[in-house]
Amino acid sequence: MAELLSSAQMREIEQAEIESGAVTGLHLMERAGRGALAAAVAKWPELSEGVHRAMVLCGPGNNGGDGFVIARRLADRGWTVDVFLYGDAEKLPSDARTNHDLWAGMGAVHRFDPKAIRACDCPDLFVDAVFGTGLTRPLPDDLAMALEFRMMEQWTRGQVIRRLAIDCPSGLNLDTGMVPASGDDKSSKGNAAHLTVSFHSLKAGHKVGLGPTLCGDVQVVDIGLRGEAASERAIVGTDPDPERARLAAPDFMQAAVPLRIWPGGCVAKLGGRGHKYDYGHAMVLAGGPGRGGAARMAARTALRAGAGLVTVLCPAEALPENAAHLDAIMLRACAGSEALGQLVDDRVTALCLGPGMGIGAETRALVKSALAQDRGERGRRPPSVVLDADALTSFADDPDALFANTHDRTVLTPHEGEFARLFPDLAQSERDQRSKIDVARKAADRAGCVVLLKGEDTVIAQPGGGASVHSATGDRAVPWLATAGAGDVLAGMIAGLAAADTAPGLFCVVEAAVWLHCEAARQFGPGLIAEDLPEMLPGVFSTLAT
C-alpha cells in the first residue's frame, strides 16, 4: 500500500534523518539529483546515447539545488547544459548554494530571463527544478509564462522537448493537487511535465485534482531515508497522524474479498465447507415500474461480488417487470418503510438503497428504516447500509436529517454533484485550495460514516482521518467507465463484499470495491456499458494471487 505524504511530513522526515546524523542534506540532494536523472534516462533511453542539449531552470530553494546536481551530472556525460536561476544565489539555502557553486565551477549560471531562455538553442531535455513541495502561492507571472506549455511550443517550433519536473511541475500545490490562481485568474491550469520524479514517497497532489494531468508519468526515487520517521504507516481507523493518506492498491485485496472467491481461501478457512448465509444476504431496494434497471444491476453485481444470496425489494406493481429479468436473484414486494423492517430478518447483512428508487419522502423513509435495522435474535452482525444516488439526493434539502441516522456501518457513495447537495460548504466550487482528501475527511466526520467521493481521483474517507485514494489515471485510466449505471454497479459491489461474515471493516471493503470496479472496466476496454461490469468480475478474481 503506497503512502501519500503531505509536504510538511516530507520535510519532517528529511529533517529527522539529518538530525539523527544518518545522512546530510548534501547527500540527500546528490541522491535526488542522480535519481531523477536515472529516471529520465530510463524513460527516454535515447538520451543515454550520443551528445544532447539540456536546459535546467533552478529555483531559490532546495529544489533548485537538485537542479544544479542534475546539471553537473549531464555535463559529466558530455551534454551541453544551459542553467538559469530564478532567484538570488546569495539567498540560496546552504546545501543548494554549495551545489550552485559546484556547477558554477563548470559552467555559467544565467539569471532568469524569459527572452534569454528563448534565445538559447532548443534543448532535448528541459528540467523544471524551480518550486517543488510546499508551494501554496501562485507562480509569478513571468515564471508562469516561461513555463507555460503553449509558450514553449512557440519557442521550439514543433521540436519535441522532454520535460522533467523535480517533485512536481512548478506551480502545483502538492498538498491539494490544485494550481493557485493569481489575481482574478481562476482558469490557471498550470505548468505540465512528461515525467515527474518524487522522492521517498508520493505526495497527495500527485494523485488528486490536477496532479495526475500535470505530472505526466510519476516515478518515485528512493533517496535512502530509513529512520523511524520514514517508516510507512497505512491509515486505518483513527490514525494518530490524520494528515497521511494511502493509495488504494491490490495488496489489501485478500483481506477484503470473500474467502470462497479468493483462490484457496475457502479450503484454508472453512475446510471446503460453507453455507450461502456464511457469505451474507444482501438486499437491494428498487423503484417503481420502469425504474428497476439500476437496482437490478446493483443486485447482480452484489451476487457476482460474493454475497451468498441477494434479494431485490420493490413495490408490488413492479414485481412482473423485475421477475422477467431476475433468475438467481430473489424478489420480494416491499410496500414501504414499515414493511422493510419486517422483511429485513436477522440473516440480512447488507442493504443497498438509492439506484432508481426515486427522490422524495418515500425514499427518505426507507433510508431511515434501513439505517435503523439492528442485530437479530440469531446474534449475526447488523447489516451494513450502502446509500447512493436517489437515497442521497432525497436529503438534499435537509442533510442533517440523514446524518442524524447514519452510523459506522454506513457508506455514502456520492459523485461530485450529490456531494455538493449534501455538503454544500465542502463542494468543488467552494473548495478554493482545499484538497479532495481534506473535504472527504471533513464529510466523513460530519456524517459519522465512510464517505466515498467518486471521480478519476476517488477518495475514501472515514471518521477520524483515515483516507485512501484510488487514482484511475495513467495506466489505470478508464475513460469508458464514465457510463450510465456504473455508479449503481459500484454500490452493489460494496454491498456484495460487505455482506460476507468474513468481511473486514467497511473502509477496507470500499477500497477493494473501487479497485475491482476499475479493474473490471480495464479488462473489458472501450465500448463498456454498466451491465458488462458484473460479468467481468469472475475474470478479475481469477487473476488475483493467493
Q: Look at residue 283 and tell me whether its pLDDT is greater than 70.
A: yes
Same domain? 256 vs 220? no
546 pLDDT more than 80: no
Residue 466 within any structural domain of the chain? yes
Residue 284: strand, helix, or coil: strand
Q: What is the 3-state secondary structure (H, E, C) of 312-363?
A: EEECHHHHHHHHCCCCCCEEEECCCHHHHHHHCCCCEEEEEECCCCCCCHHH
Average pLDDT over residues 66-87: 97
Same domain for 15 and 46: yes
Which CATH number does the domain housing residue 29 bear? 3.40.50.10260
- As a whole-number percent, the residues of the chain with pLDDT over 70 amount to 85
Tens digits of per-residue pLDDT, 325-354? 999 999 999 999 999 999 999 899 999 999
Q: Are strands 217-221 and 195-199 parallel, antiparallel or unpaired?
A: parallel
Query: Which triple of cell numbers denotes residue 371?
Result: 439505517
Does residue 75 surpass a pLDDT of 60?
Answer: yes
Is 448 a member of any domain?
yes
Neighbours of 160 (CB within 10 A): 9
- Whether residue 224 is contained in a domain is answered as yes
* Rounded distance between C-alpha atoms, residue 149 and residue 133, angstroms: 21
3-state secondary structure of 192: coil
Q: Are residues 65 and 173 in the same domain?
A: yes
Quote the CA–CA distance of 389 and 46 in Å, as a whole number.
50
Query: Whole domain around residue 467: which residue ranges?
Result: 250-543
Tell me the residue length of the chain: 546
pLDDT at 381: 76
Domain match, 288 and 205 both: no
pLDDT of residue 276: 85
Over the chain, what is the mean pLDDT? 88
- Do 214 and 308 lie in a common domain? no
Residue 146 lies in a domain: yes
pLDDT at 452 over 60: yes
- Band (185; pLDDT cuts 50, 70, 90): low
Burial 197-233 (b: 16+ CB within 10 A, else e): bbbbbbbbbbbbbbbbebbbebbbbebebeeeebeee
> 399: domain CATH number?
3.40.1190.20
Of 394, 414, 406, which is closest to residue 370 (Cα–Cα)?
Answer: 406
- Are residue 167 and residue 293 in the same domain, yes or no? no
Return the pLDDT at 505.
85
Q: Beta strand pairing status for 53-58 and 125-129?
A: parallel
Asked whether the predicted pLDDT for residue 6 surpasses 90, the reply is no
Q: Are 299 and 200 in the same domain?
A: no
Tell me the CB-side half-sphere exposure of residue 4, using CA atoms within 13 A.
28
User: Which residue bears the cell 540560496?
Assistant: 92
Least confident of 258-262, 399-403, 513-517: 258-262
Please tell me whether residues 401 and 334 are part of one structural domain. yes
Q: Residue 270 above 50 pLDDT?
A: no
Is residue 261 located within the same domain as residue 360?
A: yes
* Residue 153 and residue 262 in one domain: no
pLDDT at position 240, please?
34
Of the three residues 232, 264, 285, the one that is the final residue of a domain is: 232
| 237 is a domain residue | no
CA separation for the pair 443, 252 (Å, rounded): 24
| pLDDT, position 427 | 85
Give the Cα separation of 543 and 519 in Å (integer). Answer: 11
CA distances from 454 to 1, 2, 426, 471 (A): 20, 20, 14, 10
In a domain, 240, yes or no: no
Q: Please tell me whether residues 47 and 80 are part of one structural domain.
A: yes
Look at residues 172, 200, 232 and tell me which one is the last residue of a structural domain. Answer: 232
What number is the average pLDDT over the span 444-449? 97
Report the pLDDT value the prediction gives residue 187, as an integer from 0 to 100: 46
pLDDT confidence bin for 260, thresholds 50/70/90: low
- Asked whether residue 151 falls in the same domain as residue 30, the answer is yes
Is residue 241, in this structure, part of any structural domain at all?
Answer: no
Host H or E run for residue 385: strand 384-387
Phi/psi for 76 (5° steps) reads -60, -25
* Within-domain flag for 341: yes
**Least confident range of 61-70, 261-270, 325-334, 444-453:** 261-270
Give the number of domains in the chain.
Answer: 2
